[in-house]
C-alpha cells in the first residue's frame, strides 16, 4: 500500500461526550463545517452520538434528537467509534470513559485539564498500548496552540521557563476589579454567565484549574512528569481592592500567574497571584485572554496569546485535535505518545526564587525602620525599596525585596508578624517580571 493513501474508506465516526458550553460548539462546528473538514481529513467526519447527563434539557443546537444518549459508556464501547471527544470534565466518569474508549479502539481528544494533570501518565500509557492518539490541546489556555508547540515544535530545544496567564476566569475577574473597580462576586458572576468558569468556579478562583494547566505545561516543557500535587497553588480569593491599588501605585497590575522553571537537575511549578509591571507584556492581557511566555535556550523568548476560555475558542482547539487524530486514523498511525522521559526532581516552592511586596502596619516610633530592616537581614532578604505612608498609629511601611528564596521571604513575614511594633502585615504578594 502507498503510505500516503488512506487505508480507511468510510466516514470516520465521532462520539461526543458532553454537550455543555464547549460540547455545543464542537457539535455545531462538526456539523456546520462537515464538507470542509472532510476535505481536510480526507474522509467525512460523522457525529454519531452525543452523551449527556440529562435528555430533557433545552439545547441551542440543530442536530437530530436521536443522537443524544445518557449511556456514555455504551456509546464509547459500541465498537465502531473512531474518535471520542470528551468534554464532560472532572475525574470520573471522564477517566473511565476515556480508558474504555481507547481500549475499544478509538482515539481520544479531551479538554479535561483536571484529569490530564492528575492521571496523564495512565491515560498516555493506555493510548500507547491501544496504538491510538490522546490529544489535549484545549486543556491548556483555550484556543491558544501551546500543547503542540511544546510537545513538537520545541522538542529539540531546551525550555527553561514557562510563565503564563492560563485561567480566563480569574484574569477576567482581576481585570474587571482593576479597570472598572467592579466587585469580586459581580465579576465572577459575569465570567460564569459568559461560559468561562468551570462547573464549580472554586476550581478557577482557588487556582486549581491554573495548577492543573501548570502541571501539564511543566510536564511537556521539561519532559518530566509533574502532577497536580507537585504544583504550589494559591488562588485569588485573598486578593483585595487594597492589593490592586497598591500594585497600581507601584506601576504594576495583579495577575494570577503559572510559573514553571527548570534547573540542570530539578523543576518547579507554582500558581499564585503576583504583581507585574505595566510594561511587561503579560500586564496587557485583558479579560478572559490568556498568554504563555516560553523561554528556551536556542529559540529565546516566545509568546503565545489568545482567547483562553469560552465555548467557541475552546472548540477551535478541539477541532484542530480532531482533524489531526482523524488524519492519523485515516493512515492508521498514531503518536507521538508519552514524551516525559526525564526524571528531574520536582522542588518545593520554598526553593523558588522570587521577590515580595509587603505592606506592614507599624507603630511609628524611633528606630522602627531599623528593627524592620533587621528582620529582613536576619533571613538574608535584601530590601530593594522601602516607603513609609502615614505616621503615628496610622503608619504603613511598603517594602519591595530583591530576589530571595521563597522560604526565606515567608520566614521574614512570619517573624514580622511576631514583632510588637507591627500591628499587621496587611499585604504580602510576590512580584514577578522586573521593576
Ligand X SMILES: NC(=O)C1=CN([C@@H]2O[C@H](COP(=O)(O)OP(=O)(O)OC[C@H]3O[C@@H](n4cnc5c(N)ncnc54)[C@H](OP(=O)(O)O)[C@@H]3O)[C@@H](O)[C@H]2O)C=CC1
Q: Closest approach of Cβ 140 to ligand X, in Å?
A: 8
Q: Site for ligand LTNE7NMQ (CB under 6 A): which residue of 25, 209, 261, 375? A: 209
Q: Is 18 annotated as a binding residue?
A: yes
* Cβ density class 165-199: b for 16+ within 10 Å, e for less: bbbbbbbbbbbbbbeeeeebeebbebbeebbbbbe
Residues 265 to 294 in contact with ligand X, rule: CB under 6 A: none
Q: How many Å apart are CA 49 and CA 63, to the nearest integer?
A: 10
Residues 250 to 279 in contact with ligand LTNE7NMQ, rule: CB under 6 A: none
Q: Closest approach of Cβ 218 to ligand LTNE7NMQ, in Å?
A: 17
Q: Is 17 annotated as a binding residue?
A: yes
Instruction: Examine residue 21 and tell whether it contacts ligand X (CB under 6 A).
Output: yes
Q: Strand locations in 138-220, DSSP E? A: 159-165
Which of the listed partners (ligand LTNE7NMQ, ligand X, none) does 261 bind, with a CB threshold of 5 to 8 Å by partner kind? none
Residue (97 or 197) nearer to ligand LTNE7NMQ, CB: 197
Instruction: Examine residue 196 and tell whether it contacts ligand LTNE7NMQ (CB under 6 A).
Output: yes
Query: For 150, which DSSP code?
Result: I
Query: Could you tell me if 270 and 349 are in contact, meaning their C-beta atoms sit under 8 angstroms apart?
Result: yes
CA angle 244, 249, 250 (to 5 degrees): 100
Please state whether beta strands 252-262 and 159-165 pair in parallel, antiparallel, or not at all (unpaired).
antiparallel
Active site residue 255: no
- DSSP secondary structure, 87-108, as one string: -S-SSTTHHHHHHHHHHTT-EE
What's the full length of the chain, in residues? 435
Q: How many Å apart are CA 138 and CA 115, to the nearest integer?
A: 13
Q: Is 198 annotated as a binding residue?
A: yes
Which of the listed partners (ligand LTNE7NMQ, ligand X, none) does 360 bind, with a CB threshold of 5 to 8 Å by partner kind? none
Q: Is 384 annotated as a binding residue?
A: no
Q: Site for ligand LTNE7NMQ (CB under 6 A): which residue of 291, 309, 358, 429? A: 309
Q: Site for ligand LTNE7NMQ (CB under 6 A): which residue of 89, 142, 149, 164? A: 142
Instruction: Examine residue 197 and tell whether it contacts ligand LTNE7NMQ (CB under 6 A).
Output: yes
Q: Is 20 annotated as a binding residue?
A: yes
Query: Could you tell me if 70 and 53 are in contact, meaning their C-beta atoms sit under 8 angstroms apart?
Result: yes
Coil/strand/helix, residue 410: helix
Which of the listed partners (ligand LTNE7NMQ, ligand X, none) does 87 bind, with a CB threshold of 5 to 8 Å by partner kind? ligand X
Cis peptide before 93 (omega within 30 of 0): yes
Could you tell me if residue 300 is left (phi over 0), alpha (psi between -120 and 50 degrees) or otherwise beta?
A: left
CA angle 4, 124, 228 (to 5 degrees): 140
Q: How far apart are the first and last CA of the chain?
A: 61
Instruction: Examine residue 19 and tell whether it contacts ligand X (CB under 6 A).
Output: yes
Taking CB atoms, the residue at the shortest distance from ligand X is 20
Q: Which residues are annotated as a binding site for NADPH?
A: 113
Per CB under 6 A, residues contacting ligand LTNE7NMQ are 142, 167-169, 196-198, 204, 209, 308-309
Residue numbering of the annotated binding site = 17-24, 113, 198
Site residues for ligand X per CB under 6 A: 17-23, 51-54, 57, 72, 87-89, 93, 111-113, 138, 142, 195-196, 198-199, 309-310, 314
Q: Which residues are catalytic?
A: 213
| Binding site, annotated residues for L-homoserine | 198
Residues of each annotated binding site for NADP(+): 17-24
Amino acid at each position: 500500500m502507498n503510505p500516503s493513501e488512506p487505508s480507511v474508506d468510510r466516514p470516520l465516526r465521532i462520539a461526543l461526550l458532553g454537550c455543555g458550553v464547549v460540547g455545543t460548539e464542537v457539535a455545531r462546528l462538526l456539523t456546520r463545517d462537515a464538507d470542509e473538514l472532510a476535505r481536510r481529513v480526507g474522509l467525512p467526519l460523522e457525529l454519531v452520538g452525543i452523551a449527556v447527563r440529562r435528555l430533557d434539557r433545552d439545547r441551542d443546537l440543530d442536530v437530530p434528537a436521536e443522537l443524544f444518549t445518557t449511556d456514555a459508556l455504551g456509546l464509547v464501547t459500541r465498537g465502531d467509534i473512531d474518535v471520542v471527544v470528551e468534554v464532560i470534565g472532572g475525574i470520573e466518569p471522564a477517566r473511565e470513559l476515556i480508558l474504555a474508549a481507547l481500549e475499544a479502539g478509538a482515539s481520544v481528544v479531551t479538554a479535561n485539564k483536571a484529569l490530564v494533570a492528575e492521571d496523564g501518565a495512565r491515560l498516555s500509557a493506555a493510548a500507547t498500548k491501544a496504538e491510538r492518539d490522546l490529544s489535549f490541546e484545549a486543556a491548556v489556555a483555550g484556543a491558544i496552540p501551546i500543547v503542540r508547540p511544546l510537545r513538537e515544535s520545541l522538542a529539540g530545544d531546551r525550555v527553561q521557563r514557562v510563565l503564563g496567564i492560563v485561567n480566563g476566569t480569574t484574569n477576567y475577574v482581576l481585570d474587571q476589579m482593576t479597570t472598572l473597580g467592579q466587585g469580586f462576586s459581580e465579576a465572577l458572576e459575569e465570567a460564569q454567565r459568559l461560559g468561562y468558569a468551570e462547573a464549580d468556579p472554586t476550581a478557577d478562583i482557588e487556582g486549581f484549574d491554573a495548577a492543573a494547566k501548570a502541571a501539564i505545561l511543566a510536564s511537556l516543557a521539561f519532559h518530566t512528569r509533574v502532577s497536580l500535587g507537585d504544583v504550589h497553588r494559591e488562588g485569588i480569593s485573598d486578593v483585595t481592592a487594597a492589593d490592586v491599588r497598591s500594585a497600581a501605585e507601584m506601576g504594576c497590575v495583579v495577575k494570577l500567574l503559572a510559573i514553571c522553571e527548570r534547573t540542570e537537575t530539578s523543576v518547579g511549578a507554582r500558581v499564585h497571584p503576583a504583581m507585574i509591571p505595566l510594561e511587561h507584556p503579560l500586564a496587557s492581557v485583558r479579560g478572559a485572554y490568556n498568554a504563555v511566555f516560553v523561554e528556551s535556550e536556542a529559540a529565546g523568548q516566545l509568546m503565545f496569546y489568545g482567547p483562553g476560555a469560552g465555548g467557541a475558542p475552546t472548540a477551535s482547539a478541539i477541532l484542530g485535535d480532531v482533524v489531526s487524530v482523524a488524519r492519523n486514523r485515516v493512515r492508521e498511525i498514531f503518536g507521538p505518545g508519552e514524551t516525559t522521559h526525564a526524571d528531574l526532581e520536582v522542588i518545593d516552592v520554598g526553593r523558588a526564587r522570587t521577590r515580595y511586596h509587603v505592606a506592614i502596619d507599624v507603630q511609628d516610633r524611633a528606630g522602627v525602620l531599623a528593627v524592620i530592616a533587621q528582620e529582613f537581614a536576619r533571613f538574608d532578604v535584601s530590601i530593594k525599596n522601602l516607603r513609609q505612608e502615614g505616621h503615628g498609629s496610622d503608619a504603613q511601611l511598603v517594602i519591595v525585596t530583591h530576589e530571595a528564596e521563597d522560604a526565606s521571604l515567608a520566614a521574614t513575614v512570619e517573624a514580622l508578624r511576631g514583632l510588637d511594633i507591627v500591628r499587621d502585615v496587611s499585604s504580602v504578594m510576590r512580584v514577578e517580571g522586573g521593576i
